[in-house]
Amino acid sequence: MTYKANKGQTSYGEAIGILMLDTFTPFIPGDVGNASTYNFPVRYETVEGLTVKRIFSKDQSAYNSLLKAARKLSQQGVRAITGDCGFMAIYQKILADELDIPVFLSSILQVTFMKNIIGKGKKIGIISANSKSLKDDNLFKEVGINDSSNLVIKGLEDKPNFNKSIIEEVGTLEPDKIQKEVVDTAVQLTEKNPKVELILLECSVLPPYSKAVQSATGLPVFDYITMINYIYSAVVQNNYKGIY
């Protein structure tokens, strides 16, 4: 086999490219922004100027910066591009049109799949970093969700530890305290809405707490990492070995 160098590419073997918000937050194992979360190499690129505040306000003016970062990832050989905030859904369609590789910016893309694996009348619970901003049918439509009537959304924006670390970006994070806030929110959501059969953790910092949420609710839990692992398995297929 002969390998060919790609002009301008500085490293190889990173199939998933991740567009990062311009933030000041520590990323613990399990977080999208922590490379040790994955069983495969990933490549990161910060979208300069795209802050938490701007993404929550659905600031379309940040798109050129996002496109620049995405093109850089593509030029470095990634096979698919994701993001680190569910609210990047606002750029999903336009960025997918621009690039020649798969784009899956938002964890919310999983909702359409989730809708099709539960029965009629059942609901999906979404735990979001900011429920007030997420409750927007236009945002859902950007990722192909035309009916949000079976979605139950509960936010973490008023939880003191989550708000301090993720929204105010004080530069520190206490996982045990945030986990309690996330689990309490999930339990409250499911107790109030017994028809919820699946849970989606929208925010990219929440996968570290998915196991605890599942243990507390007994429900399947989807998050950014379930999505990234799924897409990776499609763009990098396995060679199967075994016996018959």
pLDDT digits (tens, 9 = 90+) for 196-215: 999 999 999 999 999 999 99
Q: Are residues 129 and 174 in the same domain?
A: yes
The answer, yes or no, to whether residue 137 has pLDDT greater than 80, is: no
Residue 37: the pLDDT is 98
- pTM, two decimal places: 0.95
Range of the domain at 138: 107-223
Q: Is residue 97 part of a domain?
A: yes
Interhelix angle 210-217/175-192, rounded to 10 degrees, is 40
In a domain, residue 3? The reply is no
DSSP character string of 13-35:
---EEEEE-S------TTSTT-G
pLDDT of 115 above 80: yes
**pLDDT at site 108:** 96
Domain of residue 65, CATH code: 3.40.50.1860
Q: What is the pLDDT of the chain when averaged over all its residues? A: 95
Indicate if 90 and 151 belong to the same structural domain.
no
Give the CA dihedral 178, 180, 184, 185, nearest 10 degrees.
10
Q: Quote the number of domains for the chain.
A: 2
pLDDT digits (tens, 9 = 90+) for 42-79: 999 999 999 999 999 999 999 999 999 999 999 999 99
